[in-house]
Amino acid sequence: METKELFAESGGHKYRLMTLPDFRRFRDLAFSSEGWSTHFSDSKLTVQSKPPPDKSTGLNIIRAKRVMPTVPPQVLYDQLQDAKYRATWDENMLEGYNIVVLDAHNDVGYYAAKFPVFLSNRDFCNQRSWMEFTNGDYVIFNHSEPHNDCPPKKGFVRARSILTGYFIQPHESGGNLLTYVTHSDPCGSIPHSIINFVMSKGATVILDKCEKYSLSYPEWTRQNYPPGHVFPWRTPKMDWDSTYLYPEDAEKAAAEKSEEPPATNELEPAAAVNDAPNVAGEKRVDTVNMTAPTLSYAPVAPPNEGDNLALQQYRATMQDAMNTIDRSFVREGHIPTTSEYIIRLKCMLEGIRQTM
């Protein structure tokens, strides 16, 4: 495993980019078992809290887990990423926008929130990080960082996210299991005991909204995005056990390794470097595309002359899905088991279904 740290500079500040080891640490926190006090638990929802291990603050870490049986993991992930959609339902959001994209997995953004009457409104300047995984997991988390284009504003108290995030897993119901973790300081003069109490109750409300607005998200996307729209936050998928920092690194290594193709299942690597500047004028991360194996791991049955149009379209869709999955395993340099292939195919078909 690479241990080097990666950095990007923007707005007079140097940012350490979150890479696979950081996502593993967030996973460890989301699944840890020691020190948690349970405030509520039933078959669908659990809310817990514990003090930070370093005792650096009197504010507790809050963790809430919820099963969402009718919300596929990818739908929840896209919904949480989509600031345009959030503006339609988040009544507490006064303003929110992206400041700079640091790389394909990190950005810096601004969020201003309305607080109850008699309390000053709060705002955040956060570095946000995200990654998708080959086992169907999705992770998003953030922490506060300064930026010259995000100075304190009159009328707002600058709050701090120590660590807040979402860990999304596939669930046997066909939906997802969401683990929400937050360790935040609204700053100002609110006593920590009150913050701890409110946050332990407020986590339930947050997860209620995550589920409610995820259910209506697929229809909203159909009405607001063109067919085939590719979301800018989507990336190649990462293996939790990878020795690389980013999935793009694994793709590049797989492409270099395939320069001498094996005797069977020949590959044709095709590197495509995108160095177009992003909105902040910084270079995007290079990406590498590879063609699919000449022999699919799971080929679709060949067409027959008597196939009607619907069956032809079905065969074409299935073949496209199979080819995409083949390419993902090729990039990882991994021959899948039947179970691994079926799980990834299920996620792929669910994504196709949500766009139809």
DSSP 10-42: ETTEEEEPP-HHHHHHHHHHHH--SSPEEEEE-
**Does the structure show a pLDDT above 60 at 288?**
no
Q: What are phi and psi of 144, to 5 degrees?
A: -75, 140
The closest alpha carbon to 251, from 210, 223, 287, 215, belongs to 287
Annotated domain spans of the chain: 6-224, 309-355
Catalogue the E-assigned strands of the chain: 7-10, 13-16, 37-41, 45-50, 61-68, 93-103, 106-113, 121-133, 138-144, 156-158, 160-170, 176-185, 237-238, 269-272, 287-290
Which tokens sit at 241? 């056990």
pLDDT score at 107: 98
Residue 217 host element (H or E): helix 217-224
* Lowest mean pLDDT segment, chosen from 155-164, 170-179, 287-296: 287-296
How far is Cα 128 from Cα 145, in angstroms, rounded to an integer?
10
Q: pTM for the complete prediction? A: 0.74
How far is Cα 154 from Cα 148, in angstroms, rounded to an integer?
16
pLDDT score at 315: 64
pLDDT score at 294: 38
pLDDT score at 353: 57
Residues 294-328 pLDDT 10s:
344 455 455 555 656 666 666 667 776 777 777 76
- CB count within 10 Å of CB 7 equals 9
Tokens 């292939």 — which residue? 341
pLDDT score at 331: 65
pLDDT score at 101: 97
The closest alpha carbon to 186, from 121, 116, 129, belongs to 121
Tell me the β-bridge partners of 133. Answer: 238
**Does the structure show a pLDDT above 50 at 281?**
no
Q: Return the higher-pLDDT residue of 277 and 180.
A: 180
Percent of the chain with pLDDT over 70: 78
Check if the beta carbon of residue 96 is closer than 8 Å to that of residue 109. yes
Tell me the β-bridge partners of 213. Answer: none
pLDDT score at 308: 62
Residues 49-92 pLDDT 10s:
999 998 888 999 999 999 999 999 999 999 999 999 999 999 99
* Lowest mean pLDDT segment, chosen from 17-31, 159-173, 279-293: 279-293
Residues 219-235 pLDDT 10s:
999 999 999 999 999 99
**Does the structure show a pLDDT above 50 at 268?**
no
pLDDT score at 327: 72
Please give the average per-residue pLDDT across 184-196, as a whole number: 93
Residue 301 — left, alpha, or beta (φ > 0 → left; ψ -120 to 50 → alpha)? beta
- CB count within 10 Å of CB 212 equals 13
Q: What is the fold of 6-224?
A: Alpha-D-Glucose-1,6-Bisphosphate; Chain A, domain 4 (3.30.530)
Q: Mean pLDDT, the chain, as a whole number?
A: 84
pLDDT score at 49: 96
Q: Return the higher-pLDDT residue of 299 and 113.
A: 113
How far is Cα 275 from Cα 268, in angstroms, rounded to an integer?
22
How far is Cα 138 from Cα 76, in angstroms, rounded to an integer?
9
Q: Is the dihedral of CA 330, 331, 332, 337 positive or negative?
A: negative
pLDDT score at 265: 43
**Does the structure show a pLDDT above 80 at 336?**
no
pLDDT score at 155: 94
**Does the structure show a pLDDT above 80 at 264?**
no
**Does the structure show a pLDDT above 90 at 330?**
no
Residues 253-263 pLDDT 10s:
998 888 755 54
Q: pLDDT band for 280, please (50, 70, 90 cuts).
A: very low
